[in-house]
Amino acid sequence: MFRRSKPAEEIPLTHDKPGGKGRPTPTRREAEAAAKARAQVPRTRKEQAAAARAARAQSGQQVRAAMRTGDDRYLPERDRGPVKRFIRDFVDSRFQFIQILLPVLVVALAMPYVVKTQWAFSFANMLTLTGLMLVIYDIVMLRFRLRRELTRRFPDAPTRGTTTYAVMRSLQLKFLRMPKAQVKIGTQLPETYR
């Protein structure tokens, strides 16, 4: 007449069926609390401004951290992707004359005021022109070497804008570059950037 029920340890708690969600359905109270939490939007203009300010601050912190570490997820669109990362590493691993041009220009500008002779003025002009010519030569060589490496490493990737990106990065002093340099001068770069 009466059936005996199964002991508690024999009753399965969840049914794992193919295509199931893999978790129990939330209770009505849990679902209503979650919906209420999602629906709590700022009502006043002051609350909306505070929420927008907090979201901007959070986003700004993520971008600043990515600029220091090179994290691709939070970098600006112009710096994202394996090609741009390779370009940054390629530029940062080379010695460039622009790094010594600033001290040379300071010396060249100060020399005519310190040594007031025609020789000092001519030497300062020659030093400045030589420095600028070396920087232009370095940029031209950078372009050719970079194009060769990009076609070898990324044969299917578009190369539009890569030269400008590399030149603009190379014209900055290394400690001022953003995203920060991740490699040292002379470092051998890996073959794959994916």
- DSSP, residue by residue, 7-58: PGGGS-SS---TT--SSPPPPHHHHHHHHHHHH----SHHHHHHHHHHHHHH
Taking 70 as the threshold, does the pLDDT of residue 10 lie above it?
A: no
Let me know if residue 89 belongs to a domain: yes
Say if residue 85 is in the same domain as residue 113: yes
Say if residue 94 is in the same domain as residue 140: yes
Take residue 125 and report the two structure tokens written for it: 């002009």
Let me know if residue 191 belongs to a domain: no
**26-82: per-residue pLDDT in tens?**
899 999 888 887 777 777 888 888 888 988 998 888 888 888 887 778 788 888 889
The Cα 99–Cα 170 span in angstroms is: 9
What single-letter DSSP state applies at residue 179? S
Other CB atoms within a 10 A radius of the CB of residue 92 amount to 21
Confidence class for position 151, pLDDT limits 50, 70, 90: very high
Contact 157, 80 (CB under 8 A): no
Take residue 7 and report the two structure tokens written for it: 């002991």
Number of H helices, E strands in the chain: 6, 0
**158-186: per-residue pLDDT in tens?**
888 899 999 999 988 888 888 888 889 88
Say if residue 81 is in the same domain as residue 96: yes
Q: What is the gyration radius of the CA atoms in the chain, in angstroms?
A: 31
Mean pLDDT of the chain: 83
Say if residue 168 is in the same domain as residue 81: yes
Number of domains into which the chain is organized: 2
Say if residue 81 is in the same domain as residue 162: yes
Closest CA relative to residue 164, chosen from 69, 78, 66, 70 = 78
Taking 70 as the threshold, does the pLDDT of residue 1 lie above it?
A: no
How much is the pLDDT for 44?
A: 81
List the domain range (segments joined by +) for residue 50: 44-75
Say if residue 119 is in the same domain as residue 69: no
**16-32: per-residue pLDDT in tens?**
566 667 788 889 999 98
How much is the pLDDT for 74?
A: 77
Say if residue 103 is in the same domain as residue 63: no
Closest CA relative to residue 147, chosen from 165, 134, 159, 164 = 159
Say if residue 66 is in the same domain as residue 89: no
71 vs 123, more confident: 123
Taking 90 as the threshold, does the pLDDT of residue 147 lie above it?
A: yes
Mean pLDDT of 95-113: 85
Taking 90 as the threshold, does the pLDDT of residue 144 lie above it?
A: yes
